[in-house]
Amino acid sequence: MSGDARHSPSLAGLRDGDAFDGFYIVKESSFQTAVNGKNYIRMIVADASAQVMANIWDANRDLFALCPSGSIVKIQGVSETYKGKQQIRIGRFRPAHESEVDPDDFLPRTKRDVGAMRDEVLALADSLADADYGRMAAAFFRDTALMNAFARSPAARDLHHAFLGGLLEHTLNVARMADAFAGTARVDRDLLVLGALLHDIGKTEELSAALVIDYTDKGKLLGHLHIGAEMIADRARTLPDFPREKLDLLRHMILSHHGRYEYGSPVLPKIPEAFALHHLDNLDAKVETSNRLLDAMIDPEKSWTDFSRALETQLYRSGGRDGGTRDA
């Protein structure tokens, strides 16, 4: 259908003065009165690429009732600049019909090939030499419903890999490096690779991704470490005679992978594989976070990002970054 979100102009791509027509999600909406006494509607609208302020001048409360927060609307408007930021002046708009749109289209998603990533995860799951770990891997990744949820889930709300498919992408990155590391270091490869594949599996229940990515109540009350370890115990119940020690080791991998109490691990790593998983997880997460923050820089003349609370520092964009070897 020509009108769907995937064919709507991308908000991030609009330039000053561009007129456009497309579907967007209303993140926030409020009815306001200007100093001159006239009423207007002030909204934040978003698509998968960005979120932008938008105004409807000379509005009334009937119009306001048509665009509540959380709804999807069709907008004809013009992009402007206000106080140095992009803003939209809305000409016409109407609510979208359910049949016109797919909510997932309004969320950011991985740029990598989901099918190929799923295949690679399955190949790693199938590669485990230990029969028990192999049974456990199959119990997760050969379960199509779970695999579908896993492949769609983001890896975070705000931080690294906060987009549809982010959990799959992050998990694959970590598991790949775990596999490479196991090739040269003295670790139990199967335990490490399976731990890597399952380390964030609890995020499938910790996060929801319906129109917005957010934590679930359960996720906030229990945390994805506990949830993930419990999911493993649940699957183990379905596997005859699953060895108790392997079950404890696997759950230990999940519970300890944040590496320090203050990062939310209730136990510290106590086996070489758990230390490895912790640092491989951080390796991927910190590099992805810093790349994302650097990508988000707009001003081409600046060489430093704003201060990042997650990374506790500013990031430097070297001269070689955009044309250089890094983007190969």
Residues 239-258 within binding reach of its own copies (CB under 8 A): 244-245, 248-249, 251-252, 255
Q: Which is nearer to its own copies, 108 or 264 (CB)?
A: 264
Q: Residue 308: helix, strand or coil by DSSP?
A: strand
Residues 162-181 within binding reach of its own copies (CB under 8 A): 173, 176-177, 180-181
Give the span between the Cα atoms of 89 and 80, in whole angstroms.
Answer: 7
Give the span between the Cα atoms of 184 and 196, in whole angstroms.
Answer: 17
- CA geometry: angle at 228 spanning 184 and 123, to 5°? 45
Beta bridge partners, 316, equal: 304
In order of 83, 152, 295, 308, 314, the CA distances from 304 in angstroms are 21, 33, 12, 11, 6
Considering Cα of 165, then 206, then 226, then 220, what sign does the dihedral take?
A: positive
CB burial class (10 A; 0-12, 13-18, 19+) of residue 180?
exposed
Residues near its own copies (CB under 8 A), total? 86
Is 320 a binding residue for its own copies by CB under 8 A? The answer is: yes
**Least distance between its own copies and beta carbon 131 (Å):** 12
- CA geometry: angle at 129 spanning 257 and 166, to 5°? 40
258: nearest Cα among 221, 226, 218: 226
Q: Which is nearer to its own copies, 74 or 203 (CB)?
A: 203
* Interface map 7-46 toward its own copies (x if CB under 8 A): -----------------------xxxxxxx-----x----
φ and ψ at residue 285, rounded to 5 degrees? -65, -45
Residues 126-145 within binding reach of its own copies (CB under 8 A): 129-130
Instruction: State CA 74 to chain mean position distance.
Output: 26
Is 304 a binding residue for its own copies by CB under 8 A? The answer is: yes
Is 265 a binding residue for its own copies by CB under 8 A? The answer is: yes
Q: Which of 7, 94, 97, 270 binds its own copies (CB under 8 A)?
A: 270
Residues 81-120 within binding reach of its own copies (CB under 8 A): 81-84
Choose the stretch contacting its own copies; rule: CB under 8 A; options: 19-27, 139-147, 159-167, 276-284: 276-284
Q: Which of 2, 99, 144, 184 binds its own copies (CB under 8 A)?
A: 184
Is 307 a binding residue for its own copies by CB under 8 A? The answer is: no
Is 68 a binding residue for its own copies by CB under 8 A? The answer is: no
Element (H, E) at 54: strand 51-57
**Least distance between its own copies and beta carbon 100 (Å):** 25
Q: Which is nearer to its own copies, 5 or 194 (CB)?
A: 194
Give the span between the Cα atoms of 52 and 144, in whole angstroms.
Answer: 37
**Least distance between its own copies and beta carbon 132 (Å):** 10
Is 325 a binding residue for its own copies by CB under 8 A? The answer is: yes
Q: Which of 15, 111, 186, 309 binds its own copies (CB under 8 A)?
A: 186
**Least distance between its own copies and beta carbon 113 (Å):** 14
